[in-house]
Every structure is written in C-alpha cells, then in structure tokens.
C-alpha cells in the first residue's frame, strides 16, 4: 500500500505561471502591508525558540523529539502522518508539509502587486524537487519511496512526479521538458551549448551534478528580475542572493574538479552569473591542487576554520548565508521584505529540525549537532 504524500494534505495555491493583477493606485505602506505583516508577526510568535531547539537536541531519542514537537504548532501535521510514517521520516515529512502550508498561506495574504516577486522565491522548491527526482533516478528509487519527500510547493503535480520516476532515457528527458519547470528551464536557454538530452540518457553521479548546477543557474538567473520590482527591501534581498551565488560557484568548481573536470572552458558552462565576486577572483580555485582547494575556499570566504571536506565546506557556507537571511527578517518593517524574510526564517527552522533528527539517526553527538544549527545573531 502506497503511503499518502504531502500533496494529499496541502492545498496548493497554484502560484506558478499565474499573472498578478496590477495595482494602479498608490497606497501607504501601512495600508498595503499592515494586514499581511500583522499575520506574519502572529506566526513569528509561534516560532521555536533557541532554548526549545537545544532541548530537542538533548532528548535521548527521535520518539522523544516527536513527542515534544507534538506539543507545538506542528501537532496537526504529526497527527495526520503518524499512522503512516515513523522516526526520522515522520519528522522530515511532517515538518516539510508544515512549511508548505505556511508558504501557501503567505502567498494568499501577500499584496497582489508583490506576488510575482514572491513566486520567484518559491521557484527554489521546484528546483529542490527536481533535484530529488534526479537523485532518485540515479540510485533507482521507486515512486512510493520518493513521493513523501517531494515538497508540495511549486508547479510539480503528484502525477508528474510519478510519470518522471517511471520513465528512462529519452522519454525521461521529454517528460521533463513538458513540466512547468522544464518548459521554463528550456526556454531560458540556460543550457545552450550543452548536450542536455545526453545528460538525461544516463543518470550517473557526474550527470546529476551537472544537471543540478544547471538548475541552480536557472534559479539564480531569476533574481536578476527582482530589480524590476525596485523596492529597497527587494534590492537588499537580491544583493543577499548575489552573495549566495558566490558560495554556489565555489562549490561548483570544487565538485567539478573532484569529478575530474579541470578544463576552465568546461567549468565555465556551469558557472552562475550575477554574483558579487568577479569570475577572475575564483582563479585560485581553478588552479588549485586538490589538497589545497578547501583551504583556499575557506580563505576566499573568510571562514574561521578550514573545512575537512566539501560537505563541511557547504555546511559552513550555508550557515553563514542563513545567518544573513535571519538577520534580514529582524530588520524588515511593514514591507514585502518582512514576508519574504519570514519564509527564510521558517525554512531555517525546518532545516534545523532536519539536522537534529538526522544527527540523532546517525548517532552524531549533541555538541556536533548544535554546531550545525543556525540562529539569528
């Protein structure tokens, strides 16, 4: 029997591909954002405090963690899913479902004139779902194993996920190009000059790594459109994501080199444009020996400690970026920035819970888990 996915419980707003109505009259910020910001402030009051997260780290089992979360505003999500999922899976699926409900709620209360910018942000979860599907194909996972971990945000339907996971080779590529994300990805010409269909024919680790890099290029290219909304808050958010592009580019260079791809002309195909750092500033990473590249990357971004491996480097960079996102939320007042930043802080809360439960699942020490968690400065 196939277990129910989050799609069953989360009513999607259908924001992808929908046009916004144009507001032709001017209104004060208080009138425009008063209601939505008040709703966000109320939701903010329900966020888990640092002390609560530390207590979740200290409990001695995942079941004890679930019991604690059932006493919070995650209760309904755990009740709905506890008959079908258990342990780490239950925590990850229930919290992801909760996040999807919050995203859909924010989409409904956000001022109409700002919905387009908000939808740009939500493309991230289309890309995340696409990466989940690609990696599932790589390791031969079946639909019923994967569907619980598809986040019901964005344009993918449950039927499309089932179709994609059931196809192989050329048919898989054609099915992807017919999805909403696939159409937008192909029309963006991000993969111009790359044999895209060939990457879909044989889904191995190198092919998935390249496809993930191309999906990231597509996603971050959308942030150049945020400038057209021309508000101070959105400009700050766009600048913040330009910094994340720099982090992503460093990781792309390192991963490609680890897969034996050292030709700069080949690497540049997967380089994301629009970051703050210039292409030339990454030259030390392009030319670095494998034993030096992590040290150089750490120095490049001013990290206090040298990462031991690529996974640790990614964790350090993500934590640095996440802290900046959280601090942005606390600076935003009566603006679209308040709403978007709240989405960031909810994302980090879900990510913190995921780190805790996976840490417990794999026997990681409490101190190590705490080091991975992200809190506002």
Question: Rounded mean pLDDT of 287-293?
Answer: 88
What is the band of 35 on the pLDDT scale with cuts at 50, 70, 90? confident
Nearest to residue 357, comparing CAs of 139, 92, 99, 70? 92
Provide the pLDDT for residue 136.
95
Chain center to CA of 76: 24
Provide the pLDDT for residue 1.
58
Return the number of other C-beta atoms located less than 10 Å from residue 46's C-beta: 9
What long-range pairs does 235-238 form, CB within 8 A, spacing at least 24? 236/328, 236/337, 237/328, 237/337, 237/340, 237/341
pLDDT digits (tens, 9 = 90+) for 114-153: 888 888 888 999 999 999 999 999 999 999 999 999 999 9
pLDDT digits (tens, 9 = 90+) for 199-234: 998 899 999 999 999 999 999 888 766 655 556 666
pLDDT digits (tens, 9 = 90+) for 74-115: 999 999 999 999 999 999 999 999 999 999 999 988 888 888
Chain center to CA of 213: 14
Start-to-end C-alpha separation, the chain: 46
pLDDT at residue 331 tops 70? no
Question: Rounded mean pLDDT of 23-45?
Answer: 73
pLDDT digits (tens, 9 = 90+) for 161-171: 999 998 877 89
Provide the pLDDT for residue 170.
82
pLDDT at residue 61 tops 60? yes
Provide the pLDDT for residue 215.
95
pLDDT at residue 18 tops 50? no
For residues 27 and 340, which has the higher predicted lDDT (pLDDT)? 340
Question: Rounded mean pLDDT of 186-196?
Answer: 86
Provide the pLDDT for residue 133.
96
Query: What is the reported pTM?
Result: 0.84
- Work out the percent of the chain whose per-residue pLDDT is above 70: 88
pLDDT at residue 281 tops 80? yes
What is the band of 38 on the pLDDT scale with cuts at 50, 70, 90? confident
DSSP state for residue 49 in the 8-state scheme: P
Provide the pLDDT for residue 34.
82
Residue 312 C-beta-side C-alpha neighbours within 13 Å: 13
């Amino acid at each position: 029997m196939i277990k129910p996915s989050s799609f069953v419980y989360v009513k999607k707003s259908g924001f992808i591909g929908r046009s916004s109505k144009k507001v032709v009259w001017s209104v004060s910020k208080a009138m425009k954002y008063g209601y939505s910001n008040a709703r966000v402030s109320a939701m903010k009051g329900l966020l888990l405090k640092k002390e609560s997260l530390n207590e979740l780290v200290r409990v001695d089992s995942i079941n004890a963690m679930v019991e604690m979360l059932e006493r919070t505003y995650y209760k309904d999500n755990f009740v709905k899913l506890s008959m079908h999922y258990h342990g780490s899976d239950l925590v990850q699926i229930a919290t992801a479902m909760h996040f999807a409900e919050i995203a859909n709620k924010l989409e409904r209360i956000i001022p109409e004139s700002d919905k387009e910018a908000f939808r740009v942000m939500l493309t991230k979860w289309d890309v995340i779902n696409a990466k989940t599907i690609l990696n599932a194909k790589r390791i031969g996972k079946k639909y019923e194993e994967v569907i619980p971990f598809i986040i019901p945000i964005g344009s993918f339907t449950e039927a499309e996920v089932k179709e994609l996971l059931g196809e192989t080779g050329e048919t898989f590529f054609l099915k992807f190009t017919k999805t909403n994300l696939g159409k937008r990805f192909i029309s963006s010409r991000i993969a111009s000059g790359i044999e895209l269909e060939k990457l879909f024919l044989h889904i191995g680790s190198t092919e998935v790594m390249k496809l993930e890099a191309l999906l990231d290029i597509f996603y971050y290219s959308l942030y150049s459109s945020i400038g057209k909304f021309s508000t101070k808050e959105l400009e700050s958010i766009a600048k913040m994501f330009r910094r994340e592009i720099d982090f992503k580019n460093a990781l792309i260079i390192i991963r490609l080199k680890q897969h034996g791809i050292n030709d700069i002309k080949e690497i540049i195909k997967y380089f994301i444009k629009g970051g703050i750092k210039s292409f030339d500033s990454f030259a030390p990473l392009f030319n670095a020996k494998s034993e030096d590249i992590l040290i150089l990357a750490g120095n490049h971004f001013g990290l206090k400690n040298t990462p031991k491996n690529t996974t640790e480097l990614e964790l350090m960079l993500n934590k640095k970026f996440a802290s900046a996102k959280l601090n942005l939320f606390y600076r935003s007042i009566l603006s679209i920035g308040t709403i978007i930043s709240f989405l960031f802080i909810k994302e980090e809360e879900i990510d913190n819970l995921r780190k805790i439960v996976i840490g417990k699942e794999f026997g990681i020490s409490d101190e190590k888990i705490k080091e991975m968690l992200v809190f506002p400065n």
